[in-house]
Amino acid sequence: MQSTYNMVSLKRALLLITVILFAVQPFGLMAAEDTHADAPKSKKQEIDEYAEHHLQDDHYFSLFSDKEAGKHYGFPLPVILFDNGLKVFSSGEFHHGEQVVEKGGKFYTLYHGKIYETDAAGTINYDEHNHPTNAKPLDFSITKNVTGLILTTILMFWGFLSLAKTYKKGANNLPKGMGRVLEPLVLYVRDEMALPNIGHRYKEFMPFLLSVFFLILILNLLGLTPIGFNVTGNITITFCLAIFTFLIVNFKGNKDYWKHIFWMPGVPVPFKFVLAPIEVLGMFTKPFSLMLRLFANITAGHSVVMGLIAIIYLFQAELTIPGSIGVSLLLSIVLFLLELLVAFLQAFIFTMLSSLFIGMAVEEHSHH
C-alpha cells in the first residue's frame, strides 16, 4: 500500500515539476546582462562586471573568457522572438553585442542582455534617464537560466524515475543509485514538513512540496559549480515559485480559513473590521516573504563569494602582502562550504513555510 502511494506521489511530482518549469521559463528571461564594452576598464570595473555577469542571466553560455586574446569560450543559445512572426536564430550572430542582426527586414541588437529593435547601424536611443527607448520584441529565448532549468529537469526526472523503478518492484526493495540519495530526502519532506504542518491531508500536497524542494535544492547546488548558474538568484524565478504556493493556499483553503480572514471568530465585532484588512494583506505578504527570502539569500551568498574571489585577484595583481592570497583562498573555501549549507537550508525553508501556509489554509478549526 505504501509503495503504491509512493508511486502515485512520484508520478504527480514529475508532472508538477514539468508544469512549474514551463511556468517559470518565461519569467526567467527578464533579467540579462552583457559584459561587452569598447572603452578600457579599470580592474574595479572588470571585477564589478564579472560579478554582475555571474549574477545575471545571459543569451550566451559563457564558461570563461581570454580577454588578452579577445576570445570567449562557451556556446551560443537559441534566440526566439515574436515580432511580426516567429524569428529563431543563434545568439552567436550578435557576437556578444558587437553585431546587428537582420531578420525578416528588421534589425536587432543585444544591449546589456536585452534585445532591441534598431536601424541597420544598430542605433539605440535614450531618454532623459539614460534608458533605451527602442522597441523590444517579445523574447522567449533559451537563456542561461532556462538552460539551468532544463538541466535540472533532466536530473530530477532521472532521479525520480530511478526511485520509482524501485517502488515498482515492491515495498521491501532497497533503492539503488540515485534513488538511494533521494529516498531519505523524500521521507524527510514527508515526515518533517508535510505531516506535522498539514496533517492527514498531506498526501494531496506532497507532489508540490517534493517538486519545490528538489527544484530549489538542485538549482542552488548547480549555482555553486564553475558553470555559474544563478537561477534562484533571479527574482522572477522566486516570484513564480511563490505564486504557486499562493495559488495552492488560496484555492485549497477551507471555509474556516476564509472566515478567519474576513470575520475573525472570538473577537468583538468592531475589531473584526480592523483585523480583516490586516489578514487580507497577510495573504500577500506570505508569498512575498517566500520570494524575497530565497532571492536575497542566494544573491547575497553569491555576491560575497565573488567578492572574496575578487580580493584574491587584486592581491595577486596589485599587492605583495605575504600570505594574503592564502588567507583569501581559505576564506573563499570556508564561505563555499557555508554556501553548501545555505543551498540545503533555503530549499528547506521555502518548502517548510509553504507546507505551513498550506496547513493553515486546510486546517479544520473547532470553535466553542
pLDDT tens readout for residues 99-129: 888 888 888 888 877 888 888 888 888 887 7
The answer to whether 77 and 144 are in contact (CB under 8 A) is yes
Beta bridge partners, 304, equal none
Q: Residue 98 in contact with residue 109, Cβ under 8 Å?
A: no
- Angle at which helix 235-252 crosses helix 269-317, to 10 degrees, equals 160
pLDDT 10s digits, 45-69: 565 566 565 667 788 877 666 555 5
Rounded Cα distance between 37 and 279, Å, is: 49
DSSP tag of 57? B
Q: How far does Cα 27 stand from its chain's mean position?
A: 10
**All three cell numbers of 278:** 490586516
CB 285 within 8 Å of CB 261: no
Q: How many CB atoms lie within 10 A of CB 109?
A: 22
- pLDDT over 70, % of the chain: 74
Query: Average pLDDT over the chain, rounded to whole?
Result: 78
pLDDT 10s digits, 273-283: 888 888 889 88
CA distance 93 to 73: 15
User: Is the pLDDT score of 311 beyond 90?
Assistant: no
Give the model's pLDDT for residue 99.
84
**Could you count the other beta carbons within 10 Å of the beta carbon of residue 291?**
22
Share of the chain above pLDDT 90, in %: 18
The number of angstroms, rounded, from the C-alpha of 318 to the middle of its chain's C-alpha atoms is: 36
Which span out of 15-19, 225-229, 235-239, 262-266 was modeled with the highest average pLDDT?
235-239
Helix pair 255-262, 269-317: axis angle to 10 deg: 100
* pLDDT given for residue 166 in this prediction: 79
Q: Is the pLDDT score of 248 beyond 90?
A: yes
In this predicted model, what pLDDT tens digit does every residue of 340-353 receive, in sequence order?
Answer: 888 899 999 999 99
